[in-house]
Amino acid sequence: MEKVLMKGNEAIAEAAIMAGCRHFFGYPITPQTEVAAYMSKRLPQVGGVYLQAESEIASINMVLGASSAGVRVLTSSSSPGISLMSEGLSYIAGCDLPAVLVNIQRGGPGLGGIQPSQADYYQATRSSGHGDFRILVLAPNSVQEMADLTMKAFDLADKHRMPAMILGDGILGQMMEPIVLSAPEEQKPAEKPWAATGTGGTRKKNIINSLYLQPDQLERKNLERYERYKAISESEAMYEEHLMDDADVVLVAYGATSRICKNAISMARSKGIKAGLIRPVTLWPFPEKALANASCRAKSFVCVEMSMGQMIDDVKLAVKCSKPVYFCGRTGGMVHSPEEILKKIEDANGGVINEHCI
Amino acid sequence: MSIVFDRPKALSDVPTHYCPGCTHGIIHRLVAEAMDELDIAGRTVGIAPVGCAVMAYDYFECDMIEAAHGRAPAVATGVKRAKPESIVFTYQGDGDLAAIGCAETVHAAARGENITIIFVNNAIYGMTGGQMAPTTLPGQITQTTPYGRDVVSAGYPIRVCELLSTLEGASFIQRVAADSVKNVREAKKAIKKAFQVQLESRGFSLVEVLSSCPTNWGLTPSQALDWIRASMIPYYPLGVFKDKSAKSKGE
């Protein structure tokens, strides 16, 4: 297959079109604006609709409307914009609607900065909006995966009738790599008999709604939804293992950070330290079984994040505090050097206990 | 015997939750009659607001979506852009449309979004128990303006039709009232015309209906209708504020 050189943000956009998405609603924000720019050029060429909304609040509600009408729809933003979308995300989840959104994270809190970050992990996996709900979170670590996981996100969102987020960062969004764009196999678009497209006078009306004033009804709805989440946790978790067969020190990292970890692991191995990597590809569901299995033989874990330590909570939960979990973080838009990760690997291998250990 | 008066087919055969004397019921009926007469219920998608009409999805016999507070025009935009052949309307109150949803309303109008908005203005937040709305009149007493709306601190009411009619994208903007038989008949014509504007792909249409809230105004139903005439209509004059089709026909 032919390789093309693409920016991460553009790969997401083209992949969405290949997945059958013909509707994009968004609002400009650095460092993800290329998604919108690409869509504004490409969608009219394929009979689609690009619309620049007045805000992220409007974007996500346009997504809710288009999804209610049964089409595949995308929006894209970066950290502060995703905060504005949290209201709409909660409604989309409460209405059991599929939708795909992209967060190319930048440093925070507040206006923060425009350099890469992974500080929205909590927001993506814990608190995307008010109420009891989950969203699928996919974390690519290459431009190729930006494309592949975007296509997968549409399928997963339709299959489970819930929002799916591509959680990238400013490095992945902005960097260029050669990729192969392979269209998904021709498949029948998901049937959506629940969609609000007009009754045609032939069926009862469809109502898309998240309001349940009777508490017992609302509880039942939430219990049903969490039953589905439980099944998803068991079936949809994805991860990559790197040099894990004999690893004493297990690095855990996702996204761009995982690639720096691989360099650090090579350096560690050349020094005789058996280091390996578990890279969660889905952040929700979190691949906790892979980590639990690794905890049987590993000596220690090092969680590497461009944040003050967010995914580390999931790592600790997954290994059930059976082994020390070290933390190696940069924040505010700063990116790790392989050397500083190596230093942490050496600490973890030598059993030096620091304040991040359990 | 022939039937001379019946429930419109587009109005569901269920009791509503509205208070006695509230004119929401009349306005619902007018929207349903317009859908019946234009024979569009089968391809209509309605968007319910947050506020007294939050459960409007139970009252219209067409596909319905319940939006977040103020976001109905954005949701309607999403539906219409996804299915341009559908007829899309929102049904929103004054807090929903002119306070929290002001941006969504103004920009849907500015884009000339081919949707219809039924805007019910009763100068108060009804569902939450009678707080000041963006359309509460100067001096009007509400739960959160217990000494009357003081424009020095609480600011002035927004005249939505006047505001939106300055936008190029707005195609048809009319204010009507639900206070009397004559005005209700006028309201019906306006609502039907708004749907026709959408059917002809002429762009954004909005009908503002001055409505009563006897419960939160602390008036009897008939006193409330009097208050629309005595207090609201002088501040919110009735009439057509924008009609691009009339303009093009006149030229």
Q: How many angstroms separate the CA of residue A323 from the nearest CA in chain B?
A: 45
DSSP H/E element including B91:
strand B87-93
pLDDT of residue B120 exceeding 60, the answer is yes
Q: What's the CA dihedral at A339, A344, A345, A346 to 10 degrees?
A: 90
Beta carbons of B103 and A67 less than 8 Å apart: no
| Other residues' Cβ atoms within 10 Å of the Cβ of residue B37 | 13
Q: Report residue A260 CA to chain centroid gap.
A: 19
Query: Is B3 domain-assigned?
Result: no
Bridge partners, A116 (sequence order) = A106
What's the CA gap between B131 and B216, in Å, rounded? Answer: 9
Q: How far apart are the C-alpha atoms of A63 and A185, rounded to whole Å?
A: 25
Say yes or no: B107 contacts chain A, CB-CB below 8 A.
Answer: yes
Please state the domain count of chain B: 1
Q: Which residues of A touch B45 (CB under 8 A)?
A: 68-69, 196-198
The verdict on a CB contact (< 8 Å) between B82 and A199 is no
The answer to whether residue B9 sits within a structural domain is: no
pLDDT tens digit sequence for B71-97: 999 999 999 999 999 999 999 999 999
In the Cβ-directed half-sphere of B48, how many Cα atoms lie within 13 Å?
25
Cα gap A286→A282, rounded to integer Å: 6
Select the residue of A61, A62, A205 nearest B68 (Cβ to Cβ). Answer: A61
Report CB contact under 8 Å: B42, A57.
no
CA–CA separation, B29 and B35 (whole Å): 10
Q: Is residue B12 part of a domain?
A: no
CA-based max dimension of chain A: 73
Output the pLDDT for position B130.
Answer: 97
Q: What is the pTM of this model?
A: 0.96
Residue B249 binned pLDDT confidence (cut-offs 50, 70, 90):
low
Tokens of A143: 């431009």
Residue B215 in domain: yes
Which of B60, B79, B104 faces A68 most closely, judged by CB atoms? B79
CB A189 within 8 A of CB A161: no
Domains defined along chain A, listed by start: 3-183+222-235 (3.40.50.970), 240-350 (3.40.50.920)
CB contact under 8 A, B44 and A198: yes
What is the spatial distance between Cα B156 and Cα B115, in angstroms, rounded to a whole number?
28
Structural domain includes residue B245: yes
B120 within a domain of the structure (yes/no): yes
Question: Per the domain annotation, does B18 fall within a domain?
Answer: no
Task: Indicate the pLDDT class of residue B248, thresholds 50, 70 and 90.
Answer: low
CA B120/CA B210 separation, integer angstroms: 6
Is B81 within 8 Å of chain A by CB?
Answer: yes
Average pLDDT, chain B: 97
| 3-state SS, residue B12 | coil
User: How many beta carbons lie within 10 A of that of residue B55, not counting itself?
Assistant: 17
CB–CB of B45 and A69 under 8 A?
Answer: yes
Q: Predicted confidence band at B231 (pLDDT cuts at 50, 70, 90)?
A: very high
What is the Cα–Cα distance from B186 to B7, expressed in whole angstroms? 20
- Residue B63 CA to residue A176 CA, distance in Å, equals 45
The alpha-helical segments, DSSP class H, found in chain B are 24-38, 72-82, 94-95, 102-110, 151-154, 160-164, 181-199, 214-217, 221-227, 233-235, 244-250
Locate B197 and state its tokens.
């504007």
**Residue A178, φ and ψ in degrees, nearest 5:** -75, 135
Interface membership of B191 toward A (CB under 8 Å)? no
Separation between Cα atoms, residue A150 and residue A35, nearest integer Å: 12
What DSSP character marks residue B43? G
User: Per residue in A2-20, is it b (16+ CB within 10 Å) or e — as a string?
Assistant: eeeebbbbbbbbbbbbbbb
Report, in angstroms and rounded to the nearest whole number, the Rg of chain B calculated over CA atoms. Answer: 17
pLDDT of A355 = 46
Residues 47-86 of A with CB under 8 A from B: 49, 51, 53-55, 57-59, 61-71, 73
What are the angstrom distances between the C-alpha of A281 and each of A32, A93, A181, A239, A241?
Answer: 20, 22, 19, 5, 10
Q: Average pLDDT across each block of 10 residues of chain A; the chain has 358 residues. List them in order.
A: 94 97 97 96 98 98 98 98 98 98 97 96 96 98 98 97 97 97 80 97 97 98 98 98 98 98 98 97 98 96 98 98 96 97 96 48
* H or E stretch at A303: strand A300-305
Q: Which residues of A touch B63 (CB under 8 A)?
A: 196-199, 205-207
Asked whether B157 and B171 are in contact (CB, 8 A), the reply is no
Q: Answer whether residue B103 shows pLDDT above 50.
A: yes
Q: Rounded CA gap, A146 and B251, in Å?
A: 55
Residues 6+ apart with CB under 8 A from B64: A196, A205, A206, A207, A208, A209, B45, B46, B47, B48, B56, B57
Q: Does A295 touch chain B (CB under 8 A)?
A: no
Contacts of A196 in chain B (CB under 8 A): 45, 63-65, 79
Q: Confirm whether B7 is domain-assigned.
A: no
- Interface touch B79/A201, C-beta < 8 Å: no
Q: Which domain holds residue B128?
A: 24-250
In the block, tokens 């190029």 appear at B168
3-state secondary structure of A220: helix
* Local structure of A247: helix, strand or coil: coil
Q: Which of A212, A187, A213, A214 is nearest to A96 (CA)?
A: A212
Question: What is the predicted pLDDT for the residue at B166?
Answer: 98
Residues of chain B with Cβ-Cβ distance to A59 below 8 Å are 74
Q: Which residues of A touch B42 (CB under 8 A)?
A: 198-202
B228 touches chain A (CB under 8 A): no
How far away is chain B from the Cα of A55, in angstroms, using its nearest Cα?
A: 9
- Residues in chain A closer than 8 A to B195 (CB atoms): none
CATH number at residue B185: 3.40.50.970
**pLDDT for res A356:** 47
**3-class DSSP assignment, residue A189:** coil
Residue B10 has pLDDT above 90, yes or no: yes
Best probe of the B interface among A62, A64, A75, A85, by most B CBs < 10 A, is A62
Cβ contacts below 8 Å, chain A against chain B, sum to 137
> Among candidates B72, B104, B105, which has minimal Cα distance to B91?
B72
Complex confidence, ipTM: 0.96
- Taking the C-alpha atoms of residue A153 and residue A74, their distance in angstroms, rounded to an integer, is 10
B10 in reach of chain A (CB within 8 A): no
pLDDT given for residue A183 in this prediction: 81
